[in-house]
């Protein structure tokens, strides 16, 4: 993991002092609400339905156990005993007092954490694959590149007042678990013709009111140019992105308006002045960053040790959990374990103080003290010995993190919705619960296989509803909460925005509607076919007919 140098720490300490001063000036009436709004947003502080909400950055989802313990302490000392993992690998607190936020930041800074640029119209926390560095299908570890981008984007003096927020994601794997094509910039690590690391740059993806799949603006960009190219894209966006209408201010609208060709020309014209300068990344710098992410001290082991084989044979529940929640690993004898934060009747992504402490302990015991957050709002222990899986499973069961549903219909992505969010049209957490209750038979879920179901409480799409294989969106119909359902979305390599099935549904009918959709899939699927493939083959009509049949 990246470890702060003296100057990284100094920057953070100076930031805490700056924000403390800003808070004091606001409380003394020397900053207007609007001025403080822009400042507190750049620091992840929203004012929500019940209280402020503070979003803390987890750079590309990486945490160590000491950091998780501090997150736990904050949830205990400054919140009501819980925290919430977001769909951008960050963590949020729903009840901090505005005047105590500087103290929270100071505590975070003591373990190299912060809330810098977690909201506001600036470059946000860079995200990546939760299995970075251990995935069997990756070209190379994306995290050193993420850290390079993190440093470049942190307090970038030119890009703090962009037309709108700006999100960058990095992917290095076959399957794209970072949904890069739905980001303002998606950086894809590729190999050039000579087998050297290079980058494809995708620009203009996004969700919200206008969901758009990103377009490729640069191919096989040499690493030394990564930052100058990103800077050129940002400059073009900062200068020409719309500022008159907040719903048309994202870069996706600019790329659409200009067309990708003209957009690329503008970027290249800008870039011509920036490349081959001091901004070029020296190889030594890349090597230095890579050295922060060494393989942990793995033991020499073989895959599928005898005890694992026996334990799986003797315990169907354990076997199912290994199948669903454990992921193949680069290193023989290890697996990556996903802790499901999607048990029925728990808000997706929520964790309590005690659970956070427990996760830190488990990481120390079983996974070299490291923890990752996922954009699907779960938590990963990435380096667990296969001969210790059974023991870990037992402990996770006690904690309620062993629901063997990763990738299943009930592994729902869900925004806070009407229960917490002042922008919501409708509640979303109770909808997730309704569906989880309806589909409580694990064997049936396994039979259904991988299905992504995503729920947002309004068009802002924090719950990624557009890119769920099944998407649910809360809408407001004459003051009543209704839900629009879409099918066919996909966040991975074959990125697609789902299509709306038809008129929206009343809250109480949602579980029934999803059941009908699943029934159609089960009837129509050909042996081994996923929900998404079946939908793509048979189209919307059979689903539509069933759902709206009298």
Partner 1 sequence: MPRKIIKDRAIVEDSFTLVSEPGQLPANGDILVDIAILDDLQSELANRDGKVGIKVTGDVEPELLASHLDNLDLIAIEFPVFRDGRGYSLARILRDRLGYRGELRACGDVLRDQLFYMQRCGFNSFEPRDDRCIEDALNGLSDFTVTYQADALEKRPIYQRRP
Interface characters, 178-217, with ligand HEM (x: CB under 6 A):
----x-----------------------xxx---------
**Stretch 416-455 residues interacting with ligand HEM (CB under 6 A):** 416, 420-421, 423
Identify which range of 7-15, 93-101, 450-458, 498-506 contacts partner 1 by CB under 8 A.
Answer: 7-15
Helices vs strands, H then E, count in the chain? 18, 21
> How far apart are alpha carbons 529 and 515 in whole angstroms?
18
Sheet holding 350-352, edge to edge: 45-47, 52-56, 91-93, 82-85, 350-352
Among 4, 24, 27, 35, binds partner 1 (CB under 8 A): 35
Identify which range of 104-112, 236-244, 407-415, 541-549 contacts partner 1 by CB under 8 A.
Answer: 236-244
Q: Are 212 and 206 in contact (CB under 8 A)?
A: yes
CB of 226 to partner 1, least distance (A): 12
Among 124, 165, 248, 275, binds ligand HEM (CB under 6 A): 165
Reduced to 3 states (helix: H, G, I; strand: E, B; else coil), residue 96 is coil
Q: 88 or 372, CB closer to ligand HEM?
A: 88
- When asked if residue 46 is in the footprint of ligand HEM (CB under 6 A), the reply is yes
- When asked if residue 348 is in the footprint of ligand SF4 (CB under 6 A), the reply is no
**Stretch 224-253 residues interacting with ligand HEM (CB under 6 A):** 250
Residues 6+ apart with CB under 8 A from 195: none
Residue listed under structure tokens 């010995």: 385
Among 4, 50, 97, 161, binds partner 1 (CB under 8 A): 161
Helices (H), 110-242: 143-153, 226-240
> How far apart are alpha carbons 367 and 351 in whole angstroms?
19
Sheet holding 379-385, edge to edge: 62-64, 370-373, 379-385, 334-339, 326-328
CB of 90 to ligand HEM, least distance (A): 8
- When asked if residue 258 is in the footprint of partner 1 (CB under 8 A), the reply is no
- When asked if residue 415 is in the footprint of ligand HEM (CB under 6 A), the reply is yes
Among 22, 42, 43, 86, binds ligand HEM (CB under 6 A): 86
Q: Are 128 and 175 in contact (CB under 8 A)?
A: no
Among 162, 172, 322, 380, binds partner 1 (CB under 8 A): 162
- When asked if residue 152 is in the footprint of partner 1 (CB under 8 A), the reply is yes
Select from 66, 88, 65 the least CA-distant residue to 381: 65
Identify which range of 64-72, 78-86, 213-221, 271-279 contacts partner 1 by CB under 8 A.
Answer: 271-279
Q: Of these partners, ligand HEM, ligand SF4, partner 1, none, which one is at the site of residue 282 (CB under 5 to 8 Å by kind)?
A: partner 1
DSSP character for 206?
A: B
**Stretch 355-374 residues interacting with partner 1 (CB under 8 A):** none
Q: Of these partners, ligand HEM, ligand SF4, partner 1, none, which one is at the site of residue 225 (CB under 5 to 8 Å by kind)?
A: none
Select from 169, 174, 199 the least CA-distant residue to 184: 169
- When asked if residue 423 is in the footprint of ligand SF4 (CB under 6 A), the reply is yes
Please state at what angle helix 6-27 crosses helix 33-41, rounded to 10 degrees: 160
**Stretch 375-414 residues interacting with ligand HEM (CB under 6 A):** none
Q: How many residues comprise the chain?
A: 550
Burial label for 395, CB within 10 Å (0-12, 13-18, 19+), is middle
The count of chain residues that interact with ligand SF4, using the rule CB under 6 A, is: 13
> How far apart are alpha carbons 16 and 9 in whole angstroms?
11
> How far apart are alpha carbons 217 and 230 in whole angstroms?
11
Reduced to 3 states (helix: H, G, I; strand: E, B; else coil), residue 123 is strand
Residues 6+ apart with CB under 8 A from 80: 94, 95
SS3 track for 425-488: CCCCHHHHHHHHHHCCCHHHHHHHCCCCEEEECCCCCCCCHHHCCEEEEEEEECCEEEEEEEEC
Among 16, 31, 53, 448, binds ligand HEM (CB under 6 A): 53
Among 80, 243, 499, 544, binds partner 1 (CB under 8 A): 243
Q: 282 or 539, CB closer to partner 1?
A: 282
Interface characters, 131-160, with ligand HEM (x: CB under 6 A):
------------------------------
Identify which range of 160-168, 413-421, 496-504, 539-547 contacts ligand SF4 by CB under 6 A.
Answer: 413-421
- Residue-wise burial string across 200-217, b where 16 or more C-beta atoms lie within 10 A, e elsewhere: bbbbbbbbbebbbbbbeb
Identify which range of 14-22, 32-40, 84-92, 489-497 contacts ligand HEM by CB under 6 A.
Answer: 84-92
- When asked if residue 457 is in the footprint of ligand SF4 (CB under 6 A), the reply is yes
Burial label for 145, CB within 10 Å (0-12, 13-18, 19+), is buried
- Binding-site ranges for ligand HEM (CB under 6 A): 46, 48, 53, 86-88, 92, 164-165, 182, 206-208, 250, 415-416, 420-421, 423, 460-462
- Binding-site ranges for ligand SF4 (CB under 6 A): 415-417, 421, 423-424, 456-458, 460-463
- Binding-site ranges for partner 1 (CB under 8 A): 5-8, 10-11, 14-15, 18, 22, 35, 38-39, 121, 151-152, 154-163, 227, 235, 238-239, 243, 273, 277-279, 281-282, 285, 288
């Amino acid at each position: 993991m990246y470890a702060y140098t003296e100057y990284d720490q100094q920057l953070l300490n100076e930031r805490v002092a700056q924000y403390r001063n800003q808070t004091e000036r606001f409380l003394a009436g020397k900053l207007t609400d609007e001025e403080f709004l822009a400042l507190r947003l750049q620091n992840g502080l929203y004012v929500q339905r019940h209280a402020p909400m503070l979003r803390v950055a987890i750079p590309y989802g990486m945490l160590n156990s000491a950091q998780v313990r501090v997150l736990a302490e904050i949830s205990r000392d400054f919140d009501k005993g819980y925290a919430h993992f977001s769909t951008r690998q960050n963590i949020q607190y729903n009840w901090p007092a505005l005047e105590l936020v500087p103290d929270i930041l100071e505590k975070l800074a003591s373990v190299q954490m912060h809330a810098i640029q977690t909201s506001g119209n600036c470059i946000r926390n860079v995200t990546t694959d939760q299995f970075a560095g251990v995935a069997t299908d990756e070209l190379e570890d994306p995290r050193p590149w993420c850290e390079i981008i993190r440093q470049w984007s942190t307090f970038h003096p030119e890009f703090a007042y962009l037309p709108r927020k700006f999100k960058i994601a990095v992917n290095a794997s076959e399957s794209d678990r970072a949904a890069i094509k739905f980001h303002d910039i998606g950086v894809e690590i590729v190999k050039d013709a000579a087998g050297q690391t290079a980058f494809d740059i995708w620009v203009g993806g996004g969700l919200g009111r206008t969901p758009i799949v990103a377009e490729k603006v640069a191919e096989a960009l040499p690493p030394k140019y990564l930052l100058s190219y990103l800077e050129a894209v940002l400059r073009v966006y900062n200068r020409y992105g719309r500022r008159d209408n907040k719903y048309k201010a994202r870069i996706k609208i600019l790329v659409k308006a200009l067309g990708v060709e003209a957009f690329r020309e503008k970027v290249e014209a800008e870039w011509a002045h920036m490349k081959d300068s001091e901004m070029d990344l020296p190889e030594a710098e890349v090597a230095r960053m890579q050295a922060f992410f060494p393989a942990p001290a793995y033991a020499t082991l073989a895959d599928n040790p005898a005890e694992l084989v026996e334990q799986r044979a003797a315990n169907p529940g354990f076997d199912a959990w290994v199948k669903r929640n454990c992921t193949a690993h680069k290193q023989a004898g290890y697996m990556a374990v996903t802790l499901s934060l999607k048990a029925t009747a728990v808000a997706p992504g929520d964790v309590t103080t005690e659970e956070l402490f427990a996760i830190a302990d488990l990481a120390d015991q079983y996974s070299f003290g490291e923890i990752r957050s996922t954009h699907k709002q779960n938590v990963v222990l990435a380096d667990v010995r296969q001969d210790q899986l059974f023991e870990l499973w037992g402990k996770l069961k006690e904690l309620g993190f062993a629901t063997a549903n990763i990738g299943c219909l009930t592994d729902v992505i869900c925004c806070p919705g009407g229960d917490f969010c002042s922008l919501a049209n409708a509640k979303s957490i109770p909808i997730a619960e309704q569906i989880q209750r309806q589909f409580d038979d694990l064997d049936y879920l396994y039979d259904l296989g991988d299905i992504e179901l995503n729920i947002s409480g309004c068009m802002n799409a924090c719950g990624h509803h557009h890119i769920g294989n099944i998407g649910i969106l809360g809408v407001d119909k004459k003051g009543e909460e209704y839900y629009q359902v879409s099918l066919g979305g996909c966040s991975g390599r074959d990125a697609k925005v789902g299509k709306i099935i038809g008129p929206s549904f009343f809250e109480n009918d949602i579980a029934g509607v999803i059941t009908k959709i699943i029934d159609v899939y089960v009837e129509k699927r050909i042996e081994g076919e996923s929900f998404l493939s079946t939908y793509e083959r048979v189209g919307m009509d059979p689903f539509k007919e069933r759902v709206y049949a009298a």
